[in-house]
Structure 1
Amino acid sequence: MKVVIILAICALTAVAAVPIPEEERVSGENGWYIPQTDGSLVWVSIEEGEKMLDELENKEEIEGRLSTVPVSFYLYTNRNPSKKQKITETAKSINNSDFDASNPTRFVIHGWTQSYTAGMNKDIRAAWLGRGKYNVIIVDWARARSVDYATSVVAVPKVGKKVASMINYLVENFGMSLEETEVIGHSLGAHIAGYAGKNTKHGLLHAIVGLDPALPLFSYNKPNKRLNANDANYVESIQTNGGQLGFLKPIGKGAFYPNGGKSQPGCLLDVTGACSHGRSTSYYAEAVARDDFPSMSCGDYQEAVKDACGSSYSGVKMGAVTNAYMVNGDYYVPVHSSSPYGYGYA
């Protein structure tokens, strides 16, 4: 499959009428730098990338692969904080687990190349369970571990629908409250969270948190094909590698830009952006556990990127549990180069 995708990219590049000079390339505007498993980045134009996705999707529809996208759900609660319980959409499975619909529920979705054992899942799970009684459901989607990024992107909508199906099942059969349910996703997982929100049957999710939502092969001007601010009652985005692996333009109703949102302190020689991209998950876990990321309110995201939002704290903290009731806008967030990253309890 990897050879097929590389050949497809090369073929598409060869037939491009006017190749885009490197100095004119703006990721997300006239093309994307597509990440490879070896850490390198391959440029494709918007037209090339969209054609590649269409061809991949048609091929997988014919082969029936999109209808069998494997997704697993692992439950953790205060009664089983470190030992997973695999749950399925059956009464026997849920009844035999420690799921308690009277407690709030958090779904956590990893990004490309990762699995349910990823460090972000452990950190976020521990942060929520440290706050009190919660159902934390870790979503494992096997197509994240496809060799090629594009084949994982094609699976995103279907995975999101499967997450929504589990949410709908728990609401309908066990009384889980959407008002107390949040979905947290990193990178491609953020867009899966968006598709989950688009497909809930009984109202909107309370909140979705997108941790540096993936930019490559997603378009800002196509909000129905990515996470957007209407996918839940409140959508928050923590944007840490904007313009490279993540979006720079605001994704959430509340969009937070640590260190301006492009790169993060402490991520030295971060040529591929992987360090800054992953830092969003560390910030979020710390925000849940410590509530220590004060922010400055900005007129727009350009001000946040330039750190031109003044020096007075806004009273809004990135990742705060109360943000769903009060936040709307773009925010600059000062951060340290090492943990704890937040500037404290200001």
Structure 2
Amino acid sequence: MKYLKILIFFKYLVFFIKAAKVTDGVFFVFYGPTYDDYKITTLNFNFATLINTKYYNSNKPTVFYVHGWRSGIKMVGTEDIVQAYLSRGDHNIIAVDWSKYSSNVDYIEVAASVKNQATFNTAVLRQMQTAGFNLSTFHFVGHSLGAQILGRVGYQFINNYSFKFKRITGLDPAGPLFANRNVDKLFQLEYPTLNKLNAEFVDIIHTDAGTFGSKYSTGHIDFRPNGGSSQYGCSLSDCLQINQDDCLSCDHGRAWKYYAESVNITTSTFIAKRCPDNVTDFTKSKCIGPETASMGFNADKYKVGGNYYLETNDRKLYSK
């Protein structure tokens, strides 16, 4: 482990030396009434010109979505979530396109860029706020490394501007190289993971815990569908039967699929039951409530916390 840490440290060092700026080519996409109607912006855009247009209605709440590693603005994860919100018609929608960097197959390099990506997002969001955007009505949603970017953005807004976001939703926040500092005191090379200090309410959906996703319960509420580490319909045989594009990321990708479904259906879905605080293996027999909560879009409607378990179907519709 010692030599692995040294290797990662030098890889970080080389990356930061050769990539002094890793935010050129990052865009913030404002969606109009349809998926093909959008406005592309970036730092120093005149955001005031978008207020009370079809791209930003000041009377609506806003969802701000950041995709993860090996994803992008035109890939199915982002599209499904954007389309889900478009079908509701009651939100402004902003999606961050950092695919120029997230498409890199070298996970260590991409993870090392999270801090700079977060700083750039913070700068752009601060410009929006100064232009008249009400960030108190923003709901920040991120998948994988996107969730870790948003955790860092929340941290920077608190420390730099004494402003705390209302809600951050982490869709299987990236696990490798991101630590719960309260637990992993020996591995200081890792970044702190998304946690409940980053916003007034942090809800996390764990679908690939311990592999691509974080295993830590660091939100105000942490949902563990099917136990949180593997998902129904994601075995190798399942992947082959349903022509899954990437079996390796099937469990990890279920987080955004569950979330998109929860946005699409307006009634409370994905009802989960509370697990005892001392439970580390999340099963139906151990997580019996009596407290319940709805995973996904409606999670903030429940004044509860802790770990919550539920079972899903192996394909759409996932909610039982």
Which residue type is aligned with residue 135 of structure 1? N
Partner deviation per Cα, 1:100-157 (whole Å, 9 max, x = no partner): 3332111111111111112111111122232233221111112111131111011011
Contact map agreement 2:60 2:92 (CA 8 A) in 1: yes
CA, structure 1 residues 134+161, in 2 after alignment: closer, same or farther (shift >3 Å)?
A: same
Match of 1:228 among 195, 200, 203: 195
Matches within 5 A, 1:1-346: 45=1, 47-66=2-21, 68-78=23-33, 80-90=34-44, 92=46, 94-95=48-49, 98-141=55-98, 142-174=100-132, 176-200=133-157, 201-221=161-181, 225-269=192-236, 273-290=248-265, 291-300=268-277, 302=279, 305-311=282-288, 314-321=291-298, 323=300, 326-343=303-320
- What is the TM-score normalised by the length of structure 2? 0.84
CA displacement at 1:54 relative to structure 2: 2.7
Contact map agreement 2:47 2:127 (CA 8 A) in 1: no
Moved more, 269-278 or 117-126: 269-278
Alpha-carbon distance in 1 for matches of 2:304, 2:89? 24
Which structure 2 segments of 5+ residues have no match? 185-189, 240-245
Which structure 1 segments of 5+ residues have no match? 1-44
Which residue type is aligned with residue 176 of structure 2? P
CA displacement at 1:58 relative to structure 2: 2.4
Moved more, 185-194 or 223-232: 223-232
CA displacement at 1:339 relative to structure 2: 0.7
Contact map agreement 2:275 2:289 (CA 8 A) in 1: no
Alpha-carbon distance in 1 for matches of 2:8, 2:301? 34
Contact map agreement 2:140 2:169 (CA 8 A) in 1: yes
**2:242 aligns to what?**
none
CA, structure 1 residues 163+327, in 2 after alignment: closer, same or farther (shift >3 Å)?
A: farther
SS in 2 for 1:330: strand
Which residue type is aligned with residue 159 of structure 1? Q
CA, structure 1 residues 225+235, in 2 after alignment: closer, same or farther (shift >3 Å)?
A: same
Contact map agreement 1:297 1:329 (CA 8 A) in 2: yes
RMSD of the alignment, in Å?
Answer: 2.5
CA, structure 1 residues 296+71, in 2 after alignment: closer, same or farther (shift >3 Å)?
A: same
Alpha-carbon distance in 2 for matches of 1:108, 1:123? 12
Contact map agreement 1:263 1:273 (CA 8 A) in 2: no
CA displacement at 1:319 relative to structure 2: 1.2
SS in 2 for 1:210: strand
Q: Number of paired residues?
A: 296
Alpha-carbon distance in 2 for matches of 1:314, 1:327? 8
Alpha-carbon distance in 2 for matches of 1:278, 1:120? 8
Alpha-carbon distance in 2 for matches of 1:130, 1:304? 36
Alpha-carbon distance in 2 for matches of 1:245, 1:212? 8
Partner deviation per Cα, 1:64-95 (whole Å, 9 max, x = no partner): 434545421111133x4432210134453551
Alpha-carbon distance in 1 for matches of 2:83, 2:39? 15
Alpha-carbon distance in 1 for matches of 2:153, 2:4? 24
**2:243 aligns to what?**
none
Partner deviation per Cα, 1:182-238 (whole Å, 9 max, x = no partner): 211111111011111112225111111111111112222269622111111111110
Alpha-carbon distance in 2 for matches of 1:143, 1:171? 26
Alpha-carbon distance in 1 for matches of 2:58, 2:150? 20
Moved more, 204-213 or 92-101: 92-101
CA, structure 1 residues 89+67, in 2 after alignment: closer, same or farther (shift >3 Å)?
A: closer
The share of aligned pairs that are identical, in percent, is: 29
Alpha-carbon distance in 2 for matches of 1:246, 1:310? 21
- What is the TM-score normalised by the length of structure 1? 0.78
